[in-house]
Amino acid sequence: MASSSDFKYNFVSHKGFNLISGTHDPAEVDAICNYEVRDSDVFVVTYPKSGTIWMQQILRLIEAKGDLTSEELNSDQVPWIELQGKGKEFVEAPSPRLRVTHLPYHLMPHALSQKKGKVIYVARNPKDVLVSYFHFHKFATMLETPKDFNHFFEKFIRGDVYGNSWFEHTKSWYAHQDNMQFLFITYEEMIQDLRSSVKRISSFLGKNLTDAQLTEVVKHSTFKNMRVIPQANYEMVPDDLLNHHNGKFMRKGTIGDWKNHFTVNQNEIFDQIFQKEMKEFPVSFVWDIKDIEQITV
C-alpha cells in the first residue's frame, strides 16, 4: 500500500516523490528498494531531460561492442525500472540487467549501498534541463501542458514536476556516491568530448573496447545520427502517451538553449536559487556552448 497519496494534477505524491498516475504504481515502486542486485546490474540515473536516452544508446552500444546492425536502439533493452509492470520483468531478467530510472536515491534498491551493481548518474545544467522539460511537457500527454514558459519556470523551481526538485535529486545522489559503485558524468562533458566520455563509461563498466569499436559506439551516439533513429525519438510510443506532432525527444541537443527562453529577471532568480542550493556542491556546470572547446568526433 502507498504510504501517502495526495493527488495533484496527475501526480501521486509518494514518500516525497511525485509518481505519475497510470504510469507508476506506488506499491510496485515500493518493492524496488528490496530487490536483489547483481554485480552485473547497471542503473543509469537521471533527472528528466538530462540525457537519459543518450546514455541508453551508449550502454546498449557498449554492450554490442558498437554493432548497431543487429538491432536498432530499443528502449526495451535498457528499460525503466519504475514503470508499471516492469518490476517482475527486472527480477526475472537474465544478466546483464541494464536499467534507467529517474527515482531518487531513497527509493532505489538498498543493495546499491553495499556496492552491489553500478550506478551512472548523468547530470545536466538545470537551466537547459528546465527548457528541455518545458518542451517535453508540450508533447508528453501524461504531463500537464504548461500554460506558458513563466508558469513552467515557477513549477520547476518549486519542484512541482515529475522528478521533483532538480537540486535535491542531484545533491542527494551525489552525496551517497561513496557507498556505491558510482560514476558521475555530465551532459556537458559528453557534448564536449563524446569519445573520452564513452571511454570513461566503458572502463567503469569493465568493458574493454578496441579503438574501432569505440569509434562505432561514438558514431552511433552523436546527436546528428541519433536524431534520425525513430526509436531514439520514442516514435513507437503511441500518440495517447506522446503526441509526436507537438515535439521530439531529439530536440536541440546542445548547451545554452536556456538563453533563448529565460528573461533577464528569470535568469537572476534562477542564479540566486542555484547559488543558495548548490553552494556546497563541488562540481561546476557549463552553461554555454561557447565556454567549451568542442572536440569533433
Residues 6+ apart with CB under 8 A from 237: none
Q: Which stretch binds ligand A3P (CB under 6 A): 8-16, 207-215, 245-253, 281-289?
A: 245-253
What's the CA gap between 34 and 68, in Å, rounded?
A: 35
> What are 200's three cell numbers?
570513461
219 binds ligand A3P (CB under 6 A): no
What's the CA gap between 78 and 42, in Å, rounded?
A: 9
46 binds ligand A3P (CB under 6 A): yes
Q: Pick one of 164, 192, 221, 233: the residue that binds ligand A3P (CB under 6 A).
A: 221
> Cell 557498449 appears where?
62
User: CB-hemisphere CA count at 13 Å for 253?
Assistant: 19
Residue (33 or 289) nearer to ligand A3P, CB: 289
Q: Are 159 and 76 in contact (CB under 8 A)?
A: no
Give residue 79's identity as a one-letter amino acid code: P
Instruction: Give me the least distance between CB of 227 and ligand A3P, in Å please.
Output: 8
**Catalytic center residues:** 102
Q: Pick one of 25, 41, 63, 128: the residue that binds ligand A3P (CB under 6 A).
A: 128
Q: 7-8 and 17-20: which strand pairing?
A: unpaired
226 binds ligand A3P (CB under 6 A): yes
Sign, CA torsion 207/208/210/214:
positive
- Mapping DSSP to helix (H, G, I), strand (E, B) and coil, where does residue 172 land? helix
Q: Pick one of 176, 207, 252, 261: the residue that binds ligand A3P (CB under 6 A).
A: 252
Q: Are 295 and 192 in contact (CB under 8 A)?
A: yes
Q: Which stretch binds ligand A3P (CB under 6 A): 20-28, 29-37, 155-163, 248-256?
A: 248-256
192 binds ligand A3P (CB under 6 A): no
Q: Which stretch binds ligand A3P (CB under 6 A): 31-39, 149-157, 222-230, 274-282?
A: 222-230
Q: Which stretch binds ligand A3P (CB under 6 A): 60-68, 127-135, 208-216, 262-270?
A: 127-135
Q: Pick one of 49, 86, 97, 99: the residue that binds ligand A3P (CB under 6 A).
A: 49
> What are 269's three cell numbers?
532568480
Instruction: Give me the least distance between CB of 131 and ligand A3P, in Å please.
Output: 6
Residue (97 or 102) nearer to ligand A3P, CB: 102
- Mapping DSSP to helix (H, G, I), strand (E, B) and coil, where does residue 159 land? coil
The residues that touch ligand A3P, with contacts defined as CB under 6 A, are 46, 48-54, 128, 132, 135, 221-223, 226, 249-253, 257
